Every structure is written in C-alpha cells, then in structure tokens.
Amino acid sequence: MKSDLFQRLAAWRQHLHAYPELSCQERATAAFVCEKLAEMGIPFAAGIGGHGVVATLTRGVSNRSAGLRADMDALPVLEAPGRVYGSRNPGVMHACGHDGHTVSLLGAAALLLEDPSWSGTVQCIFQPAEEGLGGAQAMLDDGLLERFPCERIFGYHNWPGLEAGVVMVHGGPVMAAAASFSITLSGVAGHAAMPHDCADPVQGVAHLIIALNAIVARNVDPQEAAVISTCTLKAGEANNLIAPEASLGGTIRALTPKMMHFLQARVREVAQYTARAHDLTARVEITGEVPATINHAAEAALAAQAAADAGLSLRGDMKPSMAGEDFGRFLEVMPGAYAWIGNGASAGLHNEAYDYNDEILPVAARYYAAVARAALA
C-alpha cells in the first residue's frame, strides 16, 4: 500500500474514532463513508436497513459477484482519557474497532479501484447496528441481496492479543450464537420479620442463579462450548421489606444451533421449576438472538489461500470465541467466511482503554481486496 493512502486511512480512522455513534444512530458515520466513496468516484446507495451504505465496484465482463462487509457502530462506553483523537461524544466509544473495519473497507475499495486485474462486481457493505440491534437482518430485510447481489460474502474482526497483522481463518465456527435472557420471579410481599406470611422472590432468585449455573456444569457435555452468565440483578427497595418481585438477566452462548436451542429450553424449564419450588411464578423472556458465525468450508479455504497469496501472515489454529457477531446472519443465507486480524497487544474489546491499531489498516485493506479477487476468479 502506498504511504499516502495509508496516511489517509489512518486519518479517516482517527476521525471516526473521535466521533462515534451508537447502533441505529450512525448518520454522520454513514455520511462520512458516502463522502469518501464520492471522492473516489465509486457509486453507492445509502439508507439500506437504516444507515447502511453499499458501494458497488464493477469491472470487466464477468457476471461473478462478491460481498465485503464492515460494521460501523460504536458502544455505550466512556473512553479512558488521554488519547488525542479520543471520543468527543461522552459515553460513546469505538471500543470494538468498527472505526477500523469501516476504514479498511474504504481502503480495499481504493485498492480494487486501482487494480485492473479482476473482473466482476464487488459489493462493499457498510453495516449499521451490529452491536446487538440487528443491523445485518435489517439490511437483508431491506432487500440487500436482491438489490446488490453477491454470491459469497467476507468480513473480518480485529483481534486483540493476536499478533498485529496476522490473519486467522477458522475452518468452521468463529463466533458464538448469543441471546439475552431476563427472568422475573413474582411472589407475595410483606414484612421481613414475618417471612412465613410471604412468598420471597429474592430467595427464589438466589436459588435460581445457582440452578442456572448448573445447566452448563451438569447438563452439557464438557467437550461442547456453552455459556450461561447472569449479569444483572434487581430486587427490593427497603431492608425490612420482602419485595413482591425480583428479576435477573444475562446471556446465553453456544457454537451450534442445537446447543443454543437446548440451553434456551433448559433456562425456561429451570426458571419455572425453581419458581414453583418457592411458591413463586416466573416470567421468562429470551430476546435478541444472533446466530453463530460459522464459516463455510470452501470459502474459509478460499480466504486463507487469498491471504497467503497476498503475502499476509496466516494462522488457522485458534479456538472460536464465545463472543457474538451478527455476520452469522449473512452466513445463514449465503456462503462466506469471517476472519480475525491481529490487533497486537492492545486492551481487549469493549474495554475503555481499547484502540484499533492503525498499523493493521494496510493488512486489512489488502485482505479484503485479496478475498474479493479470489472469489471472483
């Protein structure tokens, strides 16, 4: 990559980092993407599935097509102070590197624009609302594939702890299916000095947390990946009052649809049985499910070979992550592959001290362009 392009990409990335926007609010980010595409003379359409943008590059006579996807949204995280280009939107931060993903896809578009060696159509998909608000599905529902056809789709996520610039391609599962659960136990309120006259939901919740932990510990094969984590707890307002209800919430994770179905069913069962044992009633809600990101074998092999042919460092030996990623929505409806690109020794994702490593922008842009060329070949 030419040094002037790298400098431009780094400046763009730092600009986006300074002005992060939450899921479904990416107006300025999308406008910035459109501005840069227009400067490069690349046709695009905006407002796809919310603030999504799709740029279309076509060259030659081939009818082959491929999609490249990057996410654009930020997180409700207060950034640690001290960074020159730190967030100017208090309480909002690019703590997952979507600023870098967006800019590396712009970089790939620039590389493909200058490269006469390929033929076909590349759809550059800038997706909003990846962080749990269904941006991928929104774009699909808005006719993404009908309006911008692509036979295969590819994406990546920066990965702290993996050597900077190393491309990691899994042969199967990459990221977990994820869903949120909330459980409310309702009972009979009363004076804390007279518990025998009450039905105590706080007592029920205490037992329920232990019971939920036992699902993975005692109902799941130890060689399978599964997570149930309780993360929120709400009950009562006075030290001498047994509350009428108590609630908890958390997340369910698995690497296969079968396991995800089992865990959700078991959470519902355990909540109802525990409530009954304490003379309570249970209301269970499971929402926001995102499917596992599972690479298609042929596309994973293509992505790995493309990275190697582009002279990028390659690994294939890392385990999947139990973090979620709605790229899995795309992989449910078309073949594709998702990679990790090492961010080096940075703070972890969703951390107040995290920052995308600008030094990997050339690698990410070259990776995107390489897999597009390979998919069209």
157 token code pair: 């996520």
Q: Which homologous superfamily is 3-172+295-376 in?
A: Zn peptidases (3.40.630.10)
Averaged pLDDT score across all residues of the chain: 97
Number of C-alpha atoms within 13 angstroms, CB side, residue 74?
34
Q: In this structure, are strands 281-290 and 173-186 parallel, antiparallel, or unpaired? A: antiparallel
Q: Which helix (H) or strand (E) element contains residue 217?
A: helix 201-219
Please answer whether residues 209 and 217 qualify as being in contact, where contact means their C-beta atoms are separated by less than 8 angstroms: no
Span(s) in the chain for CATH 3.30.70.360 = 176-289
Residue 226 and residue 249: Cα distance in Å, rounded?
A: 17
Contact criterion met (CB below 8 Å) for 72 and 102: yes
In this structure, whether the domain defined by 176-289 belongs to CATH 2.60.40.10 is answered with no
pLDDT exceeds 70 at position 1:
no
Q: List the structure tokens of 1.
A: 């990559």
Query: Beta-carbon neighbour count of residue 174 at 10 Å?
Result: 28
Q: How far is Cα 9 from Cα 309, in angstroms, rounded to an integer? A: 23
Return the pLDDT at 220: 97
Residues of the chain with CATH 3.40.630.10: 3-172+295-376
- Beta-ladder partners of 163: none
Q: pLDDT tens digits for 296-353?
A: 999 999 999 999 999 999 999 999 999 999 999 999 999 999 999 999 999 999 999 9
The mean per-residue pLDDT over the stretch 269-293 comes to 97
Segment 114-168, tens digit of pLDDT: 999 999 999 999 999 999 889 999 999 999 999 999 999 999 999 999 999 999 9
